[in-house]
Amino acid sequence: MKKVLAILVVGLIVFSLGCIGGGEKTQTETLTGAQKDGDVQVIKIGLLTDLSGPAASKGQIVRNTVELAEENINKYFGEKGLPYRVEVLIEDTRADPKAALEKLQTLKAQGVNAAVGLYSNEVRNVQKYATSNKIILISPSSTAPPKLIGFTKPEEKKFIFRFVPTDLFQSKVIATEIEQLGLKGIVIAYRGDAWGKGLRDALVGEIESKVEIGVNVEYPSNPTPADWSPYISKLEDGVKELISKYGKDNVGVWAVGFDEVATLLTQIPDDSVLLQVKWIGTDAMVGNQKIIEETKGKAVKVGLFSTQFYSESDETTKLKETFKAKFGGEPDQYGLNAYDATWVLVLAYVEVLKEKGSYDPDLMVQKIKEVLEKYNSGAYGVEPVTGTIELDEWNDRASGDYTIYRVTEGGWKLIGAWKSDTGKIEWFEKP
């Protein structure tokens, strides 16, 4: 009996030592953007978004939706018995091109080879580094035409994808909006960056033969003005000149900006002629809570009619419910695009690891396109929240519909939709 007890005790000690040693999970860092965590391979994905700059109101939504994607993907791996786990590393770019490059370099140093995020001016500044280091980027929000972010031919843009149509589409929507609002003359205030200049140029090309374009007021984007009085004065002079020709009802202001538009409106005097005409915005303003919180009264007065790319699916409702329960509010289109971008990056990463056993950026590009087809069809058991995602030769979303919002006493309100197949706006209520 004593002999049996001795054997049991020795066995127990050996087993305990084995448990202690096994309890310390070793992590072997690789240069593949993935690491071993026990028997689970951790896939690192970066998120580059504005959390404290002029587009922070939208950046936080992007962050929240990507966090939901991270949770849902890891749940998916568990349910499917797949030996992977995704880890999202988040960096605040402040919508600053210089900071965006620094943050991308930080992510690269941490073993990240694929990331979601960035606006057009940021993409322009990081694209050479991303391309030379073969870092895959999927932007949910960069809309400037390819040539304005530094590309002259599609093959140069191999590693950079955008899950949103370019402003060559949005400019058509805004042009139709201007026409149907009955405007015969407009003045323009726009950010002096790749996005602002690109959208401004695209719209001018659409309307210059039909609408008189008065003063064009370009303002700095980094940083944006603290004192808007010089810009307000120029806009007022331009509006007065157009009113003398066409009358107040036929003149408008088109503002191309982010959160700074709220500051601009706040500094406009209550008796200014600028508040006596219609204002038109862009996709970067839709749902902007800073405008509602700081200057809703003025925004209601001018309307701030703003367009936004729109594409949803049956899956969108579920995500919106989860988002509201966890964060409050509702994800916007940029957030939804970022959610899909995260899924596609991770699923493509898994396909690469399955095929080669390690990361390969060139194969990753190929797999993204293959994964998109499967993701669109529901082959993975999950589907896009932004509907079918089709890319053009530049790896940008090929087309899409747009919705139109305005500011009301109740906040941002959907009032119309532009259909790409007809090129027309269906108004849900009179603008």
* DSSP states along 256-286: E-STHHHHHHHHS-TT-GGGGSEEE--TTTT
How confident is the model over 303-332, as a mean pLDDT?
96
69's torsion region: left (phi>0), alpha (psi -120 to 50) or beta? alpha
DSSP 331: -
Q: Report the C-alpha gap between 324 and 174 in whole angstroms.
A: 30
The per-residue pLDDT for 80 is: 96
Closest residue by Cα to residue 250 from 275, 213, 278, 217: 278
The per-residue pLDDT for 223 is: 93
Enumerate residues 6+ apart whose C-beta is below 8 A from 125. 97, 98, 100, 101
Composition of the chain by helix, strand, coil, percent to 5: 50, 20, 30
Closest residue by Cα to residue 138 from 164, 116, 105: 116
**pLDDT tier at 431 (50, 70, 90 boundaries)?**
confident
Q: How many CB atoms within 10 Å of residue 372?
A: 21
Whether pLDDT at 282 is above 80: yes
Task: Please write down the long-range contacts of 329-333, taking CB distance under 8 Å and 24 or more positions apart.
Answer: 329/61, 330/287, 331/61, 331/64, 331/65, 332/58, 332/61, 332/286, 332/287, 332/308, 333/164, 333/283, 333/286, 333/308, 333/309, 333/386
Residue type, 226: A
Percentage of the chain exceeding pLDDT 90: 90
The per-residue pLDDT for 382 is: 96
Range in 32-46, 103-117, 414-428 the model is least confident about: 32-46
The per-residue pLDDT for 15 is: 35
The per-residue pLDDT for 54 is: 93
How confident is the model over 218-230, as a mean pLDDT?
96
Q: How many CB atoms within 10 Å of residue 430?
A: 6
How confident is the model over 111-124, as a mean pLDDT?
98
112's torsion region: left (phi>0), alpha (psi -120 to 50) or beta? beta
Sheet of 424-427: strands edge to edge? 306-310, 401-408, 411-419, 424-427
The per-residue pLDDT for 360 is: 98
Q: Report the C-alpha gap between 336 and 312 in whole angstroms.
A: 8
Structural domains in the chain, CATH included, are: 41-164+312-397 (3.40.50.2300), 168-310+401-427 (3.40.50.2300)
Q: Calculate the dihedral angle through the C-alpha atoms of 262, 268, 269, 275, rounding to the nearest 10 degrees.
A: -90
Residue 308 and residue 403 in contact, taking contact as beta carbons nearer than 8 Å:
yes
The per-residue pLDDT for 39 is: 86
Give me the DSSP letters along 395-424: SBB---EEEEEEEETTEEEEEEEEETTTTE
Q: What is the pLDDT of residues 327-360, one digit of tens each?
A: 999 999 999 999 999 999 999 999 999 999 999 9
Q: What is the pLDDT of residues 132-187, one digit of tens each?
A: 999 999 999 999 999 999 999 999 999 999 999 999 999 999 999 999 999 999 99
Strands (E), 50-175: 84-92, 114-117, 136-139, 160-162
Mean pLDDT of the chain: 92
Q: The tokens of 125 are what?
A: 């500044």
412 or 7, which is more confident:
412
Enumerate residues 6+ apart whose C-beta is below 8 A from 13. none
**pLDDT tier at 1 (50, 70, 90 boundaries)?**
very low
Q: How far is CA 362 from the centre of its chain?
A: 24
Closest residue by Cα to residue 258 from 127, 147, 140, 119: 119
223: preceding bond cis by omega (within 30 degrees): yes
The per-residue pLDDT for 21 is: 39
pTM: 0.88
Whether pLDDT at 14 is above 90: no
Whether pLDDT at 19 is above 60: no
**To 10 degrees, what angle do helices 260-267 and 229-246 make?**
70
Whether pLDDT at 32 is above 70: no
How confident is the model over 361-385, as a mean pLDDT?
98
HSE at residue 279, side-chain half, CA atoms within 13 A, is 27
Q: Report the C-alpha gap between 85 and 83 in whole angstroms.
A: 7
Residue type, 215: V
How confident is the model over 385-414, as a mean pLDDT?
97
Tokens 């589907």 identify what position? 383
Q: Report the C-alpha gap between 221 and 219 in whole angstroms.
A: 7
How confident is the model over 240-247, as a mean pLDDT?
98
